[in-house]
Amino acid sequence: MINKLVSEIKKKSAPVVVGLDPMLSYLPEDILNKAIKEHGESLEAAAEAIWQFNKGIVDAIYELIPAVKPQIAMYEQFGVPGVMAFKKTVDYCKSKGLVVIGDIKRGDIGSTSTAYAVGHIGKVSVGSKSFYGFDEDFVTVNPYLGTDGVKPFVDVCKEEKRGIFVLVKTSNPSSGEFQDQLVDGKPLYELVGKKVASWGEEAMGDDYSYVGAVVGATYPEMGEVLRKIMPKTYILVPGYGAQGGKASDLKPYFNADGLGAIVNSSRGIICAYKNEKYAKYGAAGYAEASRAATIDMIEDINSAIL
């Protein structure tokens, strides 16, 4: 799947992933009201509304981008109906040819990590048959528990030719509290980055590994160091746009071949209609606004890295 991700990035000239992280406050009122009319004020209404919202955006942008990254927390908050909307979103995006990165940040140990891995990027056996549970192409993984926690995901990656992105340096202000602590004179995130590179060696695609890394756009000097530590690792870069990361900061995350990184924007795209720049589309044109914002983002990033 890393090969497909790379070839789609090349084909569409877009090292960009759109985060499908819908909050109810992002939705045009009409969408929520319609769902409430059908389902009453309920978790089911919220789930139906975010699914309809997603579908509109995906239909408007799927031809432009290689991948989407639904953030499962935004669905889990609505309980079981929310999780059903997550699954529907994953399936729909795949039917449109998009690579789906489930932003689930799971991490546990041994058989428990295996359960997450088979449930999200692999298949589980029931009797004589086997089934894909959530069926994403990639998921994000938390490394705090060490190799025992990550290895079961890597094993499933190899078997399924799907992938993971391991959190190395996150984009948030307090990410340094633990991640930047010096260990033998080097920050912890470098140690994690080295582990990611070594876990990835045993799960190589053509040019890049099935084991990727998350490195926030808000720390370009760290991105530069990590790029060198993990030359064969695809880097998923959150924090562009709403979180403050600028296109001009992104070059260090890419390799000389113009590959090796994929930049995420969530709010900046799916909420574009609330941004003055795209206000002319109005709430009813939220999907077209997200399309315009996607085109602008691709141009912005390509201009900075090429």
Cα gap 139→148, rounded to integer Å:
17
Closest Cα to residue 68, out of 47, 88, 94, 50? Answer: 94
**173 CB-near residues (< 8 Å, 6+ apart):** none
Residue 70 contacts residue 21 (beta carbons within 8 Å) = yes
Task: Tell me how far, at minimum, the Cβ of 15 lies from a copy of itself, in Å.
Answer: 23
- Set 4, 34, 105, 123: catalytic member: 105
Rg (Cα) of the chain, in Å, rounded?
A: 19
- Residue 26, CA atoms < 13 Å, CB-side half-sphere: 24
Task: Tell me how far, at minimum, the Cβ of 204 lies from a copy of itself, in Å.
Answer: 22
Closest Cα to residue 209, out of 163, 174, 247? Answer: 163
Task: Tell me how far, at minimum, the Cβ of 256 lies from a copy of itself, in Å.
Answer: 31
Instruction: For a copy of itself, give the closer residue by CB, 174 or 256.
Output: 174
Strand partners of residue 69 = 19
Instruction: For a copy of itself, give the closer residue by CB, 106 or 227.
Output: 106
Cα gap 196→166, rounded to integer Å:
7
Bridge pairing between strands 211-215 and 186-187: unpaired
Q: What is the dihedral of CA 198, 140, 209, 113, to 10 degrees?
A: 60
Task: Tell me how far, at minimum, the Cβ of 28 lies from a copy of itself, in Å.
Answer: 15
Instruction: For a copy of itself, give the closer residue by CB, 6 or 85.
Output: 85
Task: Tell me how far, at minimum, the Cβ of 148 lies from a copy of itself, in Å.
Answer: 4
Q: How far is the CA of 117 from the CAs of 11, 19, 103, 192, in angstroms?
A: 29, 21, 13, 20
Cα gap 206→212, rounded to integer Å:
14
Q: How far is the CA of 263 from the CAs of 17, 78, 144, 217, 266, in angstroms?
A: 6, 27, 24, 8, 10
Task: Tell me how far, at minimum, the Cβ of 122 lies from a copy of itself, in Å.
Answer: 9
Instruction: For a copy of itself, give the closer residue by CB, 193 or 260.
Output: 193
Instruction: For a copy of itself, give the closer residue by CB, 7 or 130.
Output: 130
Instruction: For a copy of itself, give the closer residue by CB, 66 or 216.
Output: 216
Cα gap 165→213, rounded to integer Å:
4
Task: Tell me how far, at minimum, the Cβ of 71 lies from a copy of itself, in Å.
Answer: 6
Is residue 69 flagged as an active site residue? no
Instruction: For a copy of itself, give the closer residue by CB, 15 or 143.
Output: 143
Catalytic residues: 105
